[in-house]
Amino acid sequence: MTCLLSEHFKAIIESVGENINRDGLKDTPKRAANAFQYLTKGYNQKLSEVINGAVFDSSISEMVVIKDIELYSLCEHHLLPFIGKCHIGYLPKNKVLGLSKFARIVDMFARRLQIQENMTCEIADAIMEAVDAKGVAVVVEAQHMCMMMRGVEKQNSSMTTSVMRGLMKENYTTREEFLQFIRR
């Protein structure tokens, strides 16, 4: 796969008028292919493998909140990065998830060609599936290079998406409690 991607990157570089044999570009197609494979490694991951058995019995029934999980993704429309953070809250129902698994779930979906709206839903649904939670809330805040580097070129723009599932959606007080946590 790397070899094929490398050839495509070589063609792209040449098509913009660059000399692929100049010192700075000789290994660029290979490096770009490796980077692109890394940035899209989420396609090769499955939720069960990411969780790797880190679901534990627990009697806790109060909200658990994980804030400021950094994320890096590629916009599926322009293949440009969007960079931000994800906040997750959930209401356990006899099961909790190992803390690092939240970041791994975020990365699994961020490391795909994405739009932020879909990624936010995918993260929420994966957590619901992983622990059969009573409710899940996910908020993603990101800056999109496709808005900043091209097109309208708005440097200070950002996008916020939220998805609520179960009691986080149905119960206003619970939802508001989560939103207060992430505002701190």
Confirm whether 87 is a catalytic residue: no
- Tell me how far apart the alpha carbons of residues 113 and 93 are, in angstroms, rounded to a whole number: 32
Q: pTM score, two decimals?
A: 0.94
Catalytic residue among 86, 87, 116, 122: 116
State the distance between the two ends of the chain, measured CA to CA, in whole angstroms: 45
Confirm whether 146 is a catalytic residue: yes
Is the separation of the CB atoms in 182 and 118 below 8 Å? no
Res 3: pLDDT? 87
Res 2: pLDDT? 72
- Tell me how far apart the alpha carbons of residues 88 and 149 are, in angstroms, rounded to a whole number: 29
Res 75: pLDDT? 97
Confirm whether 116 is a catalytic residue: yes
Report how far Cα 128 is from the mean position of its chain's Cα atoms: 16
Write out residues in the chain with pLDDT < 70, as ranges.
1
